Amino acid sequence: MKQEIEKRRTFGIISHPDAGKTTLTEKLLLFGGAIQSAGAVKSNKIDMHARSDWMDIEKQRGISVATSVMGFRYKDFKINILDTPGHQDFAEDTYRTLTAVDSVIMVIDSVKGVEAQTEKLMEVCRMRNTPVICFINKLDREGRDPFDLLDEIEDKLSINVRPLSWPIGMGKSFKGVYSLFESSLHLFEASRNKVMEGIKVDDITDPQIESRIGENAATELREEVELVEGVYDPFEVNSYREGQLAPVFFGSAVNNFGVKELLDCFIQIAPQPIPRATDKRLVKPDEKDFSGFVFKIHANMDPRHRNRIAFVRVCSGKFERGSNYYHVRQEKSLRFSNATAFMAQERETIDEAWPGDIVGIYDTGNLKIGDTLTEGEDGTFKGIPSFSPEIFREVINKDAMKTKQLEKGLQHLMEEGVAQLFSYEIGNRKVIGTVGQLQFEVIQYRLKNEYGASVDWRNQPIYKACWVDSEDQKELDAFVKSKLRHMAKDKDGKMVFMAESKAWLGMVQDNFPRINFHYTSEY
């Protein structure tokens, strides 16, 4: 078990939309030999789309709207990548995914620098002190000065940085990167699919550098590397693993510049599976008994079959297909005879999995996001909240003959965590809350194409959904009774107060001081 744990590296790739995150994922898979040629994320000419963007709506829009899980082997390591949606409308899927990884690679556009969504994602990483590596992408374009980008990362993301590779030129003059971590020169052709080896040099003074990139570029590179060594502290692995220092790599994912150095360094410094807390204790990965939690559910991954797959992060012990495991929430034992590992949409049946691995379990409706599976121990893994949405719309059924299909579709999509469903106590109204507008389009599209149900939306004047509880049950009952028109239940049956304005919410809180109002479902 110790050997298997040491080989595992499980990380998420995050970024602002269009920074090149999915392209980087493709190139990492290419280097790992998991795919033979990388697919274009946005392409009108060819039908080979990026493997991590497989839903029809993703292919049409050229963006990721769901987290994809991919595993591959590289230099005797088992690497699990979780490629997350960059679009802010799907931020909640990304937040949940970050609970299942041990570290993160953050992609930053060298032209645009640190953007709004990058800052939000960094806040989520900081909540758990998740180790972060920065990959500054698109060096084949005329971008901003590397030192300015590093200053901006430190300033906006509030984290110390340490470059471990350095670009040689930029845009049309871009020649490659020098690895400070390995003292090697990497000169790549502008090839989307070709993998080329770096040139080992003794150090930055090696005369080979002149012969490869020219005297002027060599002089400039040495001056910049000397400045880097003088300004930034030496790289400390522990500072990185504690989430205090971000190593930085430069490159161009679409052209294979700098990706191999990133991967080679990553497997050496990134943490192996880490201990995780339940509501009872800290669970260590090398414990004998299996434990894991569901962080994502996806229905209809294969449109030809109405299947439903729960993504389980293995936290400790060894998962074995066909074994019975204890479902903590339902307090019963379940047998999982069908378990898969993922290569985006492609799947292979597996017999065992180790801490750090992501297992896909076929499910008939027993599992929900946040559920814990163990070998009998009673304890739930923490840290998978639902956040209060920002946009609320009532569901209008356009075809009364398809009511059952609509109910089923909404149930499945909400269990996936696509959005949140609030069912009002009076009037049987169903309101969906999302973080962004695009989610409504995705829900509408999937309800129609996967379930045959047609819906419209009606805007709702709601400021905030607040989960409510109280130590005094009588007080809670009185509150619910007095605000019944504004009370709803979430998909788990928890009471939620739908506040119509900030001022009104403040007034209600003043009038009911013994009621607790929460902005996340995990309180």
Spans of all domains in the chain: 7-70+102-269, 276-374, 391-518
Q: Is residue 445 a contact partner of residue 96, using CB atoms and an 8 Å limit?
A: no
Q: CATH assignment of 276-374, given 2.40.30.10, 1.10.150.120, 2.70.98.10, 1.10.3720.10?
A: 2.40.30.10
Amino acid at 75: K
Strand, coil or helix: what is 261? Answer: helix
Spatial separation of the C-alpha atoms in residues 370 and 372, rounded to whole Å: 7
Q: Between helices 438-451 and 403-416, what is the axis angle to 10°? A: 130
By CB atoms closer than 10 A (0-12, 13-18, 19+), residue 502 is exposed
Look-up of token digits 């690679």: 105
Nearest to 479, CA basis, from 501, 461, 495: 495
Full-model pTM: 0.76
Rg (CA), the chain: 25
Q: Which two structure tokens, joined as six digits, stand for 167? A: 């670009």
Question: Residue 469, SS3?
Answer: strand
Rounded distance between C-alpha atoms, residue 86 and residue 68, angstroms: 12
- pLDDT in 10s for each residue of the chain, 523 residues: 899 999 999 999 888 777 777 788 888 887 766 554 444 333 333 233 444 443 454 444 443 334 567 888 888 899 988 877 644 545 566 777 788 899 999 999 998 988 877 887 887 788 778 999 999 998 888 888 999 999 999 999 999 999 999 888 888 878 778 888 887 777 756 555 555 556 766 677 777 777 777 888 888 888 988 998 889 988 999 999 999 999 999 988 887 778 888 898 999 999 999 999 998 999 999 999 999 999 888 765 555 555 678 889 999 999 998 899 999 999 999 998 888 876 544 567 888 899 999 898 888 778 888 899 999 999 998 877 677 788 999 999 999 899 999 999 998 888 777 789 999 988 889 999 987 787 898 899 889 988 999 999 999 999 999 999 999 999 999 999 999 999 999 988 899 999 999 999 999 999 999 999 998 776 4
CATH code of the region 391-518: 3.30.70.3280
DSSP per-residue codes, 263-284 = HHHHHHHS-----EEBSS-EEP
Q: Is the dihedral of CA 225, 22, 352, 294 positive or negative?
A: positive
Q: Among 206, 344, 301, 198, which Cα is nearest to 259's?
A: 198
The candidate with the shortest Cα–Cα distance to 342, out of 51, 7, 6, is: 51
- Read off φ and ψ for residue 128, nearest 5 degrees: -115, 5
Q: What is the CATH number of domain 7-70+102-269?
A: 3.40.50.300
Pairs from 212-218 (Cβ < 8 Å, separation ≥ 24): 212/185, 212/187, 213/168, 213/175, 213/176, 213/185, 213/187, 217/168, 217/169, 217/173, 217/175
Instruction: Give exposure, 459-483, as e/b (b: 16+ Cβ within 10 Å).
Output: ebebbbbbbbebeeeeebeebbeeb
